[in-house]
Each structure stands twice: as C-alpha cells, then as structure tokens.
Amino acid sequence: MTARSALPVLAAAAAAALLAGCTSTAPVGQQGRGPELVRPGALLTCTHLPYAPFQVKRDGKVVGFDVDLVDLVAKDLHVTQQIINTPFEGIETGQDFAIRTCDLAAAGMTITPARAKVMDFSDPYFNATQALLVKRGTSVKKIEDLKGRKLGYQKATTGALYAKAHGKGVELVEFEDVGLLLTAVGSGQVDAGINDNGVLLDYAKHNPDTHVAAEFDTGEHYGFGVRKGNDALRKRINEVLARAKEDGSYDRIHRKWFG
C-alpha cells in the first residue's frame, strides 16, 4: 500500500545492476547463520516515498513506522538497514526482488493474492482499510456522492482497485504517488482522494482544511515482502515481529507514529 515520489526508472535500473553484482551468501545473524542478503552488512529495504507515517523523508533522513519495525529486523541480523526509494510498480510486480535491488519491501503494502504470486509476505503487521479524503465543507460523504465529479487514486494500489470497482459514474484520475494525490485534493484538482486510512488520517491531522469523510471496511493487512523462496529472511522477520508484539516494542513504535 498501501507513497511516493519515484526515482527515475533508468537510475533505479542502474543501481539495481550495480547491486546485482554484490549478492552475498555470507551468513549473518545469531550463531553465525542467517538469511542470504544482497549486500554484506546491510539489509536493503525497497520503499516508495512519501507515505507518511510509514515512510517519509524528514531532515534528509527516511523515518516512519515501517522504518522502525525493519530496524528491529536489521538489529536482529546484526546489520544496518539501508533504504532504497524506487517506483512502487517495481516493488509490487516483484521486479525489484528479481534483479536483487533489495532484500525486503516495506511500503505500506497490502497482502493480496496477485502480489503473493510474485513475492512472499511476512505475517501481517498492520490492519488497514480504504478511506476517502475530501476538503472540509464539501457534501461528499461516500463514493456515490462523487458521480460526475473527480476521484483521485494512486497507481498500482488497492485504492485504485476499489475506486475502479465502486466508482460508477465517477471521473477517475490516476496519480503516480500519494504525495501528488494529496496535493490534488488540497488544491481542488480532484473532489476526493482514496487511499489507505492510516496515510489519509495522518495527512488530515496535519492539514485541518481536509478530513476523512468515509472509511470502507476492506479487511486489508500490510506485510513485508521478500523474494520468492527466501524463507530464511521471511521467517526471521516473523520471529522479530512476534517478539516485538510480546515485549511491547511494537506498541511503543505504534504510539510513536499513530498516537
């Protein structure tokens, strides 16, 4: 999922080609054994900025809920997390794993059957749903109120699927990343925007001229993606998530970013 100012595809491909030559089978982690990583000493994380509060750049550094959780995984592996900003399509299609751009994807990404065909997912770590962001004062309270009006969505997301399935008679407008979508709602370029509730609620909190008019119970769950067959890394992520929920680390990180 369920943000995102993308790097140029050519630059991303060039970086990936460089990384491809650095694949390591060196063991890491406890007892000298662990998952295979693309680059020794690093846990490379693909994401697509911005997607606050999950991943966002502040003061030159990428921070967020997902970032803090993956830092727990990196610490468990005795390596350092390094974040790679890449187009969301490359993540969603599994291309970034195929060309060894990264070890895992943390991009506020909903677990779906289509995505599970091209990558393996960790256990769910966040419950999400779709929501509708509008300007304050508008009469829009649901998608049906947008007939003959404009609804913006982010490309290659579950919000896009929901908009296309339920936006009968609505003019749909596609945006490359959630930053452009939010700007379009704020400027009146579109009458509403659909995306994951966590992102839209965070935006509305900092932009009181907007508000979340509706949420749609889609039963979505976020997961961290890994290369197909990389069970060692997937299992280690699951172990870290389970331990974080038991020892209170998960709750502490959740409060930090969501209150």
CA distance 30 to 127: 30
pLDDT given at position 17: 38
Which regions of the chain are under pLDDT 50?
A: 1-32
Dihedral-angle region of residue 257 (phi above 0 means left; psi in -120 to 50 means alpha; beta otherwise): alpha
**Predicted TM-score (pTM) of this structure:** 0.81
- The per-residue pLDDT for 10 is 35
Provide CB contacts within 8 A for 78, sequence distance 6+. Answer: 28, 29
* pLDDT of amino acid 34: 76
Q: What is the pLDDT of residue 178?
A: 95
Q: How far apart are CA 91 and CA 46, in angstroms?
A: 7
The pLDDT score that the predictor gives to residue 33 is 61
Count of residues in the chain: 259
pLDDT at 259: 86
Which of 199, 197, 148, 193 lies closest to 174, judged by CA?
193
